[in-house]
Amino acid sequence: MKKGQIFEGIIDRVDFPNKGIVYVSEEERHVTVKNGIPGQKVRFVINKFKRGNAEGRLLEVLEKSSLETRDPVCSIFPACGGCMYQTMSYPEQMKMKEDQIRRIMDEAVKGTYVFEGVKASPKEFGYRNKMEFSFGDEYKDGPLSLGLHKKGSTYDVLTAADCRLVHEDMNKILVCVLEYFRRRNVSYYKKMQHVGYLRHLLLRRGDTTGEILVNLVTTTQEEHDLFPLVEQLLSLELEGKIVGILHILNDSLSDVVKSDETRILYGQDYFYEKLLGLKFKITPFSFFQPNSKGAEVLYETVREYIGDIRDMTVFDLFSGTGTISQVLAPVAKQVIGVEIVEEAVYAAKENAERNGLSNCKFIAGDVFQVLDNIEEKPDVIVLDPPRDGIHPKALPKILDYGVERIVYISCKMTSLARDLEMMQMRGYRVEKMCAVDQFCETVHVETVCLLGKRKPDTMVKIGIDMEDYRRIRDEGKAE
């Protein structure tokens, strides 16, 4: 098997996040081919070898899978890599994600544990309350486009005028903005040359409130009159209501949505959303679960897993806008949230006050540094880290508290599997686990894991050497 060789085969299964496994009979080995569905017959070219394993690039789907029982629901499928599995039935999507989790976790978890399956999102389509669209062109020197990157490309942008992951209000706003700048022949920012004006359109919409925040992100390289655009946006017939239109200036060389300066063109720079009877104020860059109805399922699961916390202090680490903290606060003695994004911490404090919760405290800073300065000691800990998991220097500090229960929420199951290795070596056992499908049609899923403290004399029974345990414990304290 060499680079450039072309093969045909059937995708046997798809491993997380979207790695199709194709067995090449004459080679008696498998090739990883991304962006496929189990059961598809595909043609692919070998494009690289990684750690001795072959990886192929999908060239063509020769035969559909028997799992593809639905027609595509948007005009840019399958060129757009946003929703890979929209032609599969929703139950089959959840079954595939469950199989992916079990393959990873059955290997990562020491001893037995209970896996409680995948919980469905209450809404399969139109569930996203946040979307970042990019300006660009669909092909070199083509007309201006606004939408999502073409699968496998960091440059080509497909106009997502009928995206089914978002509410129809967002699609109407996208089309309005795109037509406005097309008519005026306004340039988009070219990442390699670092020239141009239009960068991103960030849309946020409360699923329960219908409040919409429109954020236009540009460079400062050009000046354009945006108030006619504001008037056009406000005249759109929407189910919800635009409460704020912002012009965000960003001259960063990197392709990230951030603000050097924010100008309010209309209304306010926040919107409200409601979860489980609580009201949350959300700003442009503060983290909030992107599926509001799915988040309710997720947080109810966390509340169930954490158990009785009366008269207990809870640490909510990587707390974002404090949603988990405030869901737990009514049944806890005290909840302390730690979050590195200051804007999110400010919003969390406001939200707690608005919801009449006086037993929440939120601290801005890196978990690794903040834990040294917190006087209180937790009785239980909730972890909801970013996609890459917990920093290896922060995890030992968290485990040093020795709490009886930890609930870990992960949006990337491979990061959870990696962190479980140290957590189990430090005396914790996985008691139960489930997933909440917050990202229907896509490769992603949230995993919720309950860990309990194991007594040291039982650790030998699951194959953990006590000397290793003490060494790792002491290394963690030394950090």
Q: What is the pLDDT along the chain (479 residues), one digit of tens a residue?
A: 889 999 999 999 999 989 999 998 766 678 999 999 999 999 999 998 887 789 999 999 999 999 999 999 999 999 997 888 999 999 999 999 999 999 999 999 999 999 999 999 999 999 999 999 999 999 888 999 999 999 888 889 999 999 999 999 999 999 999 999 999 999 999 988 999 999 999 999 999 999 999 999 999 999 999 999 999 999 999 999 999 999 999 999 988 888 999 999 999 999 999 999 999 999 898 888 999 999 999 999 999 999 999 999 999 999 988 999 999 999 999 999 999 989 889 989 999 999 999 999 999 999 999 999 999 999 999 999 999 999 999 999 999 999 999 999 999 999 999 999 999 999 999 999 999 999 999 999 999 999 999 776 544 444 444 455 455 445 544 43
Distances (CA, A) of 290 to 114, 273, 332, 362, 405: 27, 11, 26, 22, 27
Residue with the two structure tokens 């006619």: 228
Distances (CA, A) of 468 to 69, 205, 420, 471: 51, 50, 15, 5
Query: Which residue among the candidates 411, 434, 440, 449 is catalytic per the annotation?
Result: 411
Kindly report the pTM of this predicted structure: 0.89
Distances (CA, A) of 145 to 130, 140, 161, 169: 19, 11, 10, 18
Burial class (CB in 10 A: 0-12, 13-18, 19+), 349: middle
Rg (the chain; Cα; Å): 24
Q: Is 440 an annotated catalytic residue? A: no
Distances (CA, A) of 207 to 198, 211, 272, 395, 450: 27, 8, 10, 34, 29
Q: Are 240 and 167 in contact (CB under 8 A)?
A: yes
Residue with the two structure tokens 């169930």: 304
Residues 437 and 290: their CA atoms lie apart, in Å, by 12
